[in-house]
Amino acid sequence: MRADLELISDWIPAGSRVLDLGCGNGALLEHLQQHKRVAGYGLEIDADNINTCIEKGIPVLEQDIDEGLQNFAEQDFDIVVMAHALQQFRRPDLLLDEMLRIGKEAVITFPNFGHWRNRIHLGIKGHMPVSEFLPYNWYDTPNIHFCTFSDFRDLCQSKNLKIQRWAAVDGQLRDHWWTRMMPNLFSETAIFKVSR
Amino acid sequence: MPETIPADSVGLITPQVAQFDEPLVLACGQTLPTYQLIYETYGQLNADASNAILICHALSGDHHAAGYHSMEDRKPGWWDSAIGPGKPIDTNRFFVISLNNLGGCGGSTGPTSVNPATGKVWGAEFPMVTVEDWVVSQARLADRFGIQQFAAIVGGSLGGMQVLEWSVRYPERLQAAAIIASAPKLSTQNIAFNEVARQSIRRDPEFFDGNYQAEDTIPRNGLGLARMLGHITYLSDDSMGNKFGRQMRHDTYQYNYEVEFEVESYLRYQGEAFTKRFDANTYMLMTKALDYFDPAAREGGDLAKVLSKAQCEFLLVSFTTDWRFSPARSEEIVDALIRCGKHVSYTKIEAIEGHDAFLFPIPRYMNALRGFLGRVANRLPEEQA
């Protein structure tokens, strides 16, 4: 399982009702089903991922998140998760509102664009960063709304959301005193748990 | 005609008939004292009768879902693409039952059968049957095989409605439900289409209030028209456009009412062919069964409340160009299942074929069905060699 998913699963209480937005091949939900008695659903639009979920018995719904989540009732889920996908949607801010309409809490992970290596790429080399983890060119990237650790924290503050918990980790998903001290500069992945 | 039977076919099949002498009280209040159900089976029932799959047919379907009746058959059963050895409904692993529903004209008791009380053909006197009645009669057929619980029940369109009804009427009697291109109830527009179909049959002078058999005739025009209308609603604008466009019979307009465009010829042929294989009273009954189906009405319109009784895992499938039972209708079922916390997966398949897509072996669709049923198969007990 992807290391950030492992981290997220530690943040999800046993027995919760979970909605995983952009669930991929269902790895997180599978882990949560097996280890935490979690009843959950994943949303996905990739045909191969959907099929993998069906084969594994992970409840998956083919639904385009950009077209809205109106079909879900208010506060229907304990936790709504979005792992490494927020930056791919048309309006991440409105999506965050929706996540907290249907869920009591939201867990979000995203690549921190403020990481020092990105800054060097842009600041010294003068090019949009391309890395192993973010292997796209600016014109073909699905990541249309990159943000930094601080940008996201500011968005939560402007919406008066409570940041229940956060983590700032390196490429191997480990946290260090330096990633904790200066998350915006040193973390590659940011993880937030927020509520109203 | 098959020169040889393909390796992934269930082969030559002989339909069986089950006689039921226990009266069946129908939703309409009438009672059928005795009745017959015609069915086919494919594959082997395992020792503890746990590997059975029930196939529920749609409006004009019947028990002949797979294989051939003889080497002279032009085409195999209506869902041969999905049922067979190694196919998504894998007869190497499952025992598949496919029946003709009560009121049908494929050999089960229906309007063309003789009413034992009068010695005459039932005709218009045959009582209305509903989806609920079918499900009860299907359960009785399962009892004959000693099947306590189906591994899965599968159906498209009106067949999907039967699957939905099974999941709440006999929740402990199925492990998995595949509901394809279906709806929790008909829309107003759906009912309207059905009414036009019925009116075209009833207004045919050869209909004789449904007793045309006694007059030794059939309402060919009315039934043909009903089918033409139905057929249009089963296809998408794009699929008709791709198939026929504005192709003409002649190089120039003829300025008359004979066939000018190929699509007219196609529809006339479809209508005419249908009258040779289908009974008008059965068509009327089937459209009424569709109209009446509305399980949520039993709980004041709350579908989630009805579905909360279900215990099985669900797979819902819809098709993008289906406007008769659009994806939104499948999503109503999905949303209700989510609200009551059921195990459900849903996939919306890109397809050009409209409502008819559920009969086509579209790879993504077949893979979803295969993946869903494969998991069910993996839970079956190991067979002793």
* Residue A128 pLDDT level (bands cut at 50, 70, 90): confident
- Domain A3-195: which CATH class? alpha beta
- Marked catalytic residue, from B157, B236, B318, B330: B157
The DSSP secondary-structure symbol of A13 reads -
Our CA-based measurement puts residue A64 at a distance from the nearest CA of chain B, in whole angstroms, of 11
Kind plus residue range of the DSSP H or E element containing B239:
helix B237-244
Classify B214 as helix, strand or coil.
Answer: coil
**Are A59 and B348 a contacting pair at CB < 8 A?**
no
| Contact present, A82 and A22 (Cβ < 8 Å) | yes
A15 vs B: CB within 8 A = no
Instruction: Judge whether B157 counts as a catalytic residue.
Output: yes
B315 vs A: CB within 8 A = yes
B328 vs A: CB within 8 A = no
User: Taking Cα atoms as reference points, which of A62, A54, A10, A53 lies closest to residue A32?
Assistant: A10
Within chain A, where are the H helices? Answer: 3-10, 27-36, 47-56, 92-102, 116-120, 149-158, 177-181, 183-186
User: B368 to each of A57, B150, B163, B355, how far by Cα in Å?
Assistant: 11, 19, 17, 18
Instruction: Judge whether B64 counts as a catalytic residue.
Output: no
- Structure token digits, residue B37: 């159900």
Give the residue from A37, A50, A52 with the most B CB atoms within 10 Å of its CB, the best one to mutate: A50
Determine the pLDDT at residue B385. 44
Classify A47 as helix, strand or coil.
Answer: helix
Return d(Cα B257, Cα B248) in angstroms, integer: 13
Q: Which residues of B262-272 are buried (b: 16+ CB within 10 A; e: fewer)?
A: ebbebbeeebe
- Is B311 buried (19+), middle (13-18) or exposed (0-12) by CB count in 10 A? middle
Classify A187 as helix, strand or coil.
Answer: coil
User: Taking Cα atoms as reference points, which of B69, B63, B64, B49 lies closest to residue B2?
Assistant: B69
pLDDT at residue A2 greater than cutoff 70: no
Q: Using an 8 Å CB-CB cutoff, list chain A residues near B341.
A: 17, 39
Determine the pLDDT at residue B339. 94
Return d(Cα A120, Cα A142) in angstroms, integer: 22
The DSSP secondary-structure symbol of B324 reads S
Higher local confidence (pLDDT), A171 or B196: B196
| Residue at token pair 């709440």 | B168
First to last CA, chain A: 30
Other Cβ atoms closer than 10 A to B257: 7
- Marked catalytic residue, from B60, B322, B330, B356: B322
pLDDT at residue A186 greater than cutoff 90: no
User: Taking Cα atoms as reference points, which of B190, B160, B195, B274 lies closest to residue B228?
Assistant: B274
A76 vs B: CB within 8 A = yes
Contacts of A165 (CB under 8 A, 6+ apart): A11, A192, A193
Our CA-based measurement puts residue A144 at a distance from the nearest CA of chain B, in whole angstroms, of 26
Q: Using an 8 Å CB-CB cutoff, list chain B residues near A65.
A: none
Give the nearest partner residue to A61 out of B334, B341, B371, using CB atoms. Answer: B334
- Structure token digits, residue A38: 């979690």
Other Cβ atoms closer than 10 A to A105: 22
Q: Using an 8 Å CB-CB cutoff, list chain B residues near A60.
A: 345-347
**Are A51 and B371 a contacting pair at CB < 8 A?**
yes
What are the structural domain ranges in chain A?
A: 3-195
By C-alpha distance, the chain B residue nearest A71 is: B335
B326 vs A: CB within 8 A = no
Return d(Cα B66, Cα B76) in angstroms, integer: 6
Our CA-based measurement puts residue A56 at a distance from the nearest CA of chain B, in whole angstroms, of 7
Higher local confidence (pLDDT), B158 or A168: B158
User: 10-residue block means of pLDDT along chain B (385 residues)?
Assistant: 84 97 97 97 97 97 97 94 98 98 98 94 96 98 98 98 98 98 98 98 97 95 97 96 95 94 96 96 98 97 97 98 97 97 97 97 98 96 64
**Are A51 and B344 a contacting pair at CB < 8 A?**
no
Threshold 0.90, pTM exceeds: yes
- Is A175 buried (19+), middle (13-18) or exposed (0-12) by CB count in 10 A? middle
Other Cβ atoms closer than 10 A to B380: 15
**Are A61 and B372 a contacting pair at CB < 8 A?**
no
Other Cβ atoms closer than 10 A to A51: 21
Return d(Cα B54, Cα B50) in angstroms, integer: 12
| Residue at token pair 């600041």 | A123
Residue B124 sits at φ, ψ, to 5 deg, of: -70, -15
Other Cβ atoms closer than 10 A to B44: 13
User: B107 to each of A56, B35, B38, B110, how far by Cα in Å?
Assistant: 40, 11, 6, 8
- Over residues A101-129, the mean pLDDT reads 91
The DSSP secondary-structure symbol of B35 reads E
B348 vs A: CB within 8 A = yes
Determine the pLDDT at residue A1. 61
